[in-house]
Amino acid sequence: MKNKLFLLAAFVILSIASNAQSVQLQFKNQFNGAPLSFDQLYQTPIGDSVKFSTLNYFISNIELVDKKGNSYKVPQDSSYFLLKHQNDSSKTISLSNIPAGKYQQLVFTIGVDSVRNTLDVSRRTGTLDVGAAARGMYWVWNSGYIFFKLEGKTINQVDSLRKNFRYHIGGYGGYDSKTINNIKVRTIPLKSLVVKKGKNPVITIDVAVERFFNSIIPVKILEHPSVMWGDFSVKLANNYEQIFNLGGIKYE
């Protein structure tokens, strides 16, 4: 009897493993529908002329949700990614061992959750290593990750005056006392994503950078050239939450 139960359990495990597939997420940074380039001069929806030099953001805690509301959560230790515009490979996230099924939503966090922000540094490795991969994406003075970083110059075309701008948005709600919480959870409808043997989906996420400047509230750069904390950072976080949307799904 024990042997039969063992064989049955082994069969179930092997069946689940054989049905598990990979899913790929490709983040495409864009401006007005065209690939974002740091060499190009753009005009924001508010009318500012800008040239970008940095675009980095954290994506974490990825989930796939089916029509019944059941979700598959990528194991948390494997669910933190730092995407840098100048590093093409970082903008593709490969998820393995995804259970077969039909999924209707993709859910992810823009930023790093409060638990990881407050773990001992020795336990924050890989993408979250503040001395290596996450260098420049962590506030030592404020003990927290920068969730979204956008930098560049705004250029007055009348007199060619250039002014640097920088938006470093973070804040996980605080540890001992309550602070700003700019952790954003984005839910993207997928209609019907099929994961099964022989079907490895590639989900494209369009990142519409121009909407950073007006998706919820208008952002005039000369009025807010440098934002790293404070109430206006909350408004910017609300803006960039909206820039992530489904571009398409294909199967390989």
Token pair belonging to 110: 């823009």
Q: Locate tokens 């002014």: which residue?
A: 163
pLDDT at 92: 98
Q: What is the tens place of the pLDDT at every residue in 61-96?
A: 999 999 999 999 999 889 999 999 999 999 999 999
Cα separation of the two ends of the chain:
43
Burial bucket for residue 123 (CB in 10 Å: 0-12, 13-18, 19+): exposed
Distance from C-alpha of 142 to C-alpha of 37, rounded to nearest angstrom: 31
Tell me the DSSP string of 219-234: --GGGSSEESSSHHHH
Q: How confident is the model at residue 157 (pLDDT cuts 50, 70, 90)?
A: low
Of 3-12, 178-187, 234-243, the range with the lowest mean pLDDT is 3-12
Q: How confident is the model at residue 121 (pLDDT cuts 50, 70, 90)?
A: confident
Q: How confident is the model at residue 199 (pLDDT cuts 50, 70, 90)?
A: confident
Distance from C-alpha of 216 to C-alpha of 23, rounded to nearest angstrom: 31
pLDDT at 19: 64
CB neighbours of 143 closer than 8 A, spacing ≥ 6? 117, 175
pLDDT higher than threshold 50 for residue 13: no
User: Residue 93 — φ and ψ, nearest 5°?
Assistant: -110, 120
Q: How confident is the model at residue 179 (pLDDT cuts 50, 70, 90)?
A: confident
pLDDT at 14: 39
pLDDT at 11: 40
pTM of the shown model: 0.89
pLDDT at 17: 44
